[in-house]
Amino acid sequence: MNMVYLVYGITDCPACLRAQALLMELEIEYVFIETDFSPSYRDSIKKEFDFHSFPILVRVTKEGETLIGGYDDLLEAVSGDLEDLTGSCSIIKNK
């Protein structure tokens, strides 16, 4: 495993869906962790990462985990990958 993103979210959350779509379009591996039916788990994740909205995105590499933040933070984190796509990323066009 070189890198994978953990996406903590809620299935009908628009920002969560956009984050997943962006990662798919960029062909970046991710795991969606559905928190729909566990309010206590959602609360514990928010406290663990000191982040208070969804999605909560975490990059996992051999070196460890890094909190990315939310969807806007993801856009910034993958900006180099987006530049490589120059105009072909429909997710950005629809923002």
* 16-73 residue pLDDT tens: 999 999 999 999 999 999 999 999 999 999 999 999 999 999 999 999 999 999 999 9
What sign does the CA torsion over 47, 53, 54, 58 have?
Answer: negative
| The pLDDT of residue 95 is above 90 | no
Which pLDDT belongs to residue 18? 97
The answer to whether 49 and 58 have CB atoms below 8 angstroms apart is yes
Question: Does the reported pTM lie above 0.85?
Answer: no
86 or 26: which carries more pLDDT confidence?
A: 26
pLDDT band at 86 (very low <50, low <70, confident <90, very high): very low
